[in-house]
Amino acid sequence: MLLLNKEGIEQLIEANPFGGFAAERRIELSPLGQSLLVGRCPLEAEPVGRSLLVEPGSGRYRCVTCWARGGNVIDFVMQLDRVTFLVALELLARRAGLDLAALMRSSPASPSRPSAAAQSRRAPIRRGSSTPLWALTPPAWEV
């Protein structure tokens, strides 16, 4: 049985940048402004245009047309390949050349502070803040 730990999952996400993963899957991303990449969403039944938004700094994505749940590279693999969380972890570990069991077994010697990216994910989204509109969750009736 594989015991998951947060640090191992974060290392796996950092080892698989979204841009590199998208290039391997032939998803073309082009720059939009200073901090976003945009491309066609492969999760749509009929791609309409450049609706997949990726923020490389945080490694998060969202499709503004099909309202794909969004998330990180693990969520993207789960939705694109229609696999479970553990299978997605195995695929990404194999892609990065990491041993998933060793990665999950390792634990830091002392408790570490969460990274800035992890802290920003926990921050509540408030209307009128500097959070981009695409990062907001879909309306409650679509959840």
Q: Which CATH number goes with the domain that contains 49?
A: 3.90.580.10
Q: What is the pTM of this model?
A: 0.68
Q: Compute the half-sphere exposure of residue 136: CA atoms within 13 Å on the CB side of its CA.
A: 12
**Dist. CA 79–CA 119, nearest whole Å:** 25
Calculate Rg over the CA atoms of the chain.
16
Considering the domain boundaries, does residue 61 fall inside one?
yes
With 0-12 / 13-18 / 19 or more C-beta atoms within 10 angstroms meaning exposed / middle / buried, residue 133 is exposed
Considering the domain boundaries, does residue 86 fall inside one?
yes
Q: Which residues contact 111 (CB under 8 A, 6 or more apart)?
A: none
The stretch 63-76 carries a mean pLDDT of 82
How far, in Å, are 48, 78, 126 from residue 72 at the CA level?
22, 10, 21
Considering the domain boundaries, does residue 99 fall inside one?
yes
The domain of 59 spans 6-120
The stretch 66-70 carries a mean pLDDT of 71
Considering the domain boundaries, does residue 89 fall inside one?
yes
Residue 67: both structure tokens together: 């309202």
The stretch 31-38 carries a mean pLDDT of 88
